Chains A and B, each alone.
Chain A
Amino acid sequence: MSTAPENQVDELATLREEIETLRQNLVDKNRQLQDLQAAQRATAAANNGANNGVPANFSTPHVNDLTKDEIERYSRQLILPGFGVTAQTKLRNSSFLIVGMGGLGCPSSQYLVAAGSGRIGLVDYDLVDRSNLHRQTLHTECTIGLPKVESAKSALLQINPNCEIITYKTLLNSGNALEIIKQYDVILDCTDNVVTRYMLNDACVLQHKPLVSGSALQFDGQLTVYHYGEICPCYRCLFPVPPPPQAVTNCGDGGVMGAITGVIGSMQALEAIKVATGVGETLAGRLLIFDGANGIFRNIKLRGRRSDCKVCSTNPMITQLIDYEFFCSMHASDDNQALQLLSPEERIDVRQYIDMRSEPHLLIDVRPPNEFEICRLPSSVNMPLKDVLDNKFVEEFQNELDDKKLPIILVCRRGNDSQIAAQHMCNKYPSHTIRDIVGGLYAWHYQIDNEFPIY
């Protein structure tokens, strides 16, 4: 028995709608559950000491500010030498702002909330995507498509309903950063881009807040505390000039191992707890480097505060937040920006490519070999951009290049690298027909074949 296509379409739409309703229902029910649990605890607390069938009701005086629930919940920290009631109470009276609810923000918020922080702010503008789940461990299959801050909040309240959690579904920027940051004691940089890192640094310096900064890519991680204490440098003291954009790789392009962000994010929570409670010695003035591929931690002694730092010196040039996208010549998100290297007539779209597939042509996929292994178009051959730029294609495709009429088509993941490759090859072979596919394999997925995987 087969279903007619139009029925399938209807069924799909209905199912999607139902799932969306159920999702919303789940969020509502979770909220109700949390409210009820809170009310129940309040009643229990009020009744505590009232008669429970015990003849003489005896209320033992408390020796500290912690409730019975808190003592049970944090018992392993309370009996921990060097932490105890004093640090636990400080932690409960502390607030933390976590900027970025991704691979670093998930573990750091999880440990901060579980450990008994009083108040946590979560900042992220993005929605949960399936490609987040391997490392952003608070989000689940059920919260795909929801705002990350909401998904995280509901997961965190399941762990510890005592913590007050405030969400900001926004991109932190020069307009809102100071106002948000000033409401918190310790700030955690769990962001994914250079622009926000500079902005967050300056905002923390201007508001005199310590900044626990973590970062991760591939198998590597880095961690330090900025602007904490008299001699501790800020991010700008270390990096007065932003890196050239072409030297910056994000997790979406370079990849990242989930456990690496787990390690660094967990350590950010630890550093934040140390800053808030005064326990132990923080990483202020030191940089921790983690080479996860080889299992090596290194602890680097950093310079002190720069006397000519533009923001944290005694005579700062920056006294209010500036335009950080301009300063860095980059955008404040890890979304890939569409490159406009070639003119429209030097490119083809996926539909034009479909039409010319029956004619002889050479389709070169310029992605790295490991990405070529994930998925590819039929009859494509792989030559990574790097090799194209090294002119390895001249020898490899000697026969094809001999035929000036044979069209050469270049494709990549999103249509950026293919433009660089096409431009390079055109310069070398100006009389050949060399085109690249606009939007690359992403366009193929969206316009030709939905079942073709994108990553």
Chain B
Amino acid sequence: MTNNDLNISLEFSAGAELLFGNIKKRQVTLKGEEKWTIRKLLKWMHANILTERPELFIQDESVRPGILVLINDTDWELLGELDYEIQPNDNILFISTLHGG
């Protein structure tokens, strides 16, 4: 473990967890010298923890329509979306929108 390791928690809710081995919350360590953006995180997730049908999570290098990304309980749109620079101990939540009633 080096000083550059970035520890964050990833959460999945309302069905998004089904694409990630049905695990709702996990701690991950992102390694490397460079800074981590959400764009880079999505690639990492695709390569490392996405277990089911990638097209239901990623589309055109972003999340597919109908998935909201929330960083520390704030809509990622307010924080720069794909360009947001991930900070230590960030909580990043991926939530599918529901339509049933």
A-side residues, CB < 8 A to B, are 100, 102-105, 190-194, 197, 214-218, 220-222, 238-244, 246-251, 254, 256, 261, 287, 289, 291, 294, 298-303, 334
Contact = CB atoms under 8 A, between A and B. Distances in A.
A190 to B, nearest CB: 5
A287 to B, nearest CB: 8
A287 B97 CA distance: 11
B75 A301 contact: yes
Contacts, number: 98
B33 interface: no
Given A220-B13, A242-B66, A302 B101 contact: no
A249 B78 CA distance: 28
Contacts of A301: 73-75, 78
A241 B99 contact: no
B77 A220 contact: no
B70 interface: yes
A214 B70 contact: no
A241 B100 contact: no
Query: Which of under 10, 10 to 19, 20 to 34, or 35 or more describes the interface residues of B?
Result: 20 to 34
B66 A243 contact: yes
Interface string B43-57: 000000000000110
Contacts of B15: 217-218, 220, 249, 254
B35 interface: no
Contacts of B96: 247
28 contacts: A100-B101, A102-B101, A103-B100, A190-B101, A215-B98, A217-B98, A220-B14, A220-B98, A221-B98, A222-B98, A239-B65, A243-B97, A244-B65, A244-B66, A247-B56, A247-B64, A247-B96, A254-B15, A289-B13, A289-B14, A299-B73, A300-B70, A300-B73, A300-B75, A302-B75, A303-B75, A303-B77, A303-B78
B9 to A, nearest CB: 13
B78 to A, nearest CB: 5
B24 interface: yes
Contacts of A289: 13-14, 95
B101 A300 contact: no
B82 interface: no
Q: Majority SS of interface residues in chain A?
A: mixed
A363 B16 CA distance: 32
Given A221-B98, A239-B97, A251-B101, A244 B64 contact: yes
B99 A197 contact: yes
Given A191-B99, A239-B65, A243-B97, 5 more contacts: A197-B99, A244-B56, A244-B64, A247-B64, A303-B77
Given A289-B13, A300-B74, A216 B100 contact: yes
A247 B66 contact: yes
A27 to B, nearest CB: 25
A222 B97 CA distance: 8
Contacts of A192: 99-101
Nearest to A265: B101
A251 B99 CA distance: 9
Contact of A251 (B24, B64, B70, B100): B100
